[in-house]
Amino acid sequence: MKLLCGQELAGQISLLYHEMETAYDRVAAQLGLTCEGCPDNCCDSFFLHHTYVEWSYLWRGFSELPPDTQKKILFRAEDYEQKCQTTLSAGERPQVMCPLNEAGRCVLYKYRLMVCRTHGVPAAMTRPDGKRLQFPGCFRCQDIVKKNCADVQQVPVMDRTGLLRQLVLLEQQFLSGRRHLAPRVKMTIAAMLMSGPPSVVDCSDRK
């Protein structure tokens, strides 16, 4: 059985995504970073995504698109996956435009995943084992930091810890508390689209 997240959970994800946007915008404004006029488009960066709940929410948005648009996107998704597999087999990191990007814009902007919402500004997070991870931000952001921030300690940072914690809680809720039993998700957006909404019905049978 394929699962789309229900109305209530969708509302909670939407709120969390809004919180991520606010946190991102705050740091971007402090640094003076905007994507306006950037020569790069991050939507061709290769990322894997790890939650059923985001996968399901993405599908909620996808299922609202007209059938012709869905067909075009799925066609691009297949092409995307083939190209990525070829590049990965050669031991290189793929750089292929996301199938949801049309003329530089995200077709499912409201439904885009956490990674799409957090890439760009400097970020940090504390893992459950206490280890602190730091992310320097995109190349444009790193240029700004180099030019304007003499003291590294003063560089504004988006802390992802609390946001990720909330996402894990939503994942637990989506999987009815059986997150530890479900197979691990490690997928591109293209693969999520091609696979249909997540199916987690058999996770309770797993040891």
Binding site for ligand SF4 (CB under 6 A): 35, 38, 40-43, 98, 100-101, 106, 112, 116, 119-120, 138-141, 189
Least separation in angstroms between CB 15 and ligand SF4: 19
Decide whether 42 or 181 has the Cβ nearer to ligand SF4: 42
Euclidean distance between CA atoms 173 and 42, whole angstroms: 31
Euclidean distance between CA atoms 97 and 76, whole angstroms: 9
Least separation in angstroms between CB 132 and ligand SF4: 23
∠ CA 14-20-24, rounded to 5°: 145
Decide whether 103 or 150 has the Cβ nearer to ligand SF4: 103
Residue with tokens 């969708």: 10
Euclidean distance between CA atoms 199 and 4, whole angstroms: 9
Decide whether 116 or 182 has the Cβ nearer to ligand SF4: 116
Q: Give the other-Cβ count within 10 Å of 143's Cβ.
A: 12
Least separation in angstroms between CB 2 and ligand SF4: 20
Least separation in angstroms between CB 166 and ligand SF4: 20
Least separation in angstroms between CB 176 and ligand SF4: 27
Decide whether 84 or 189 has the Cβ nearer to ligand SF4: 189
Decide whether 42 or 203 has the Cβ nearer to ligand SF4: 42
Euclidean distance between CA atoms 102 and 100, whole angstroms: 6
Under 8 Å between Cβ of 145 and 137: yes
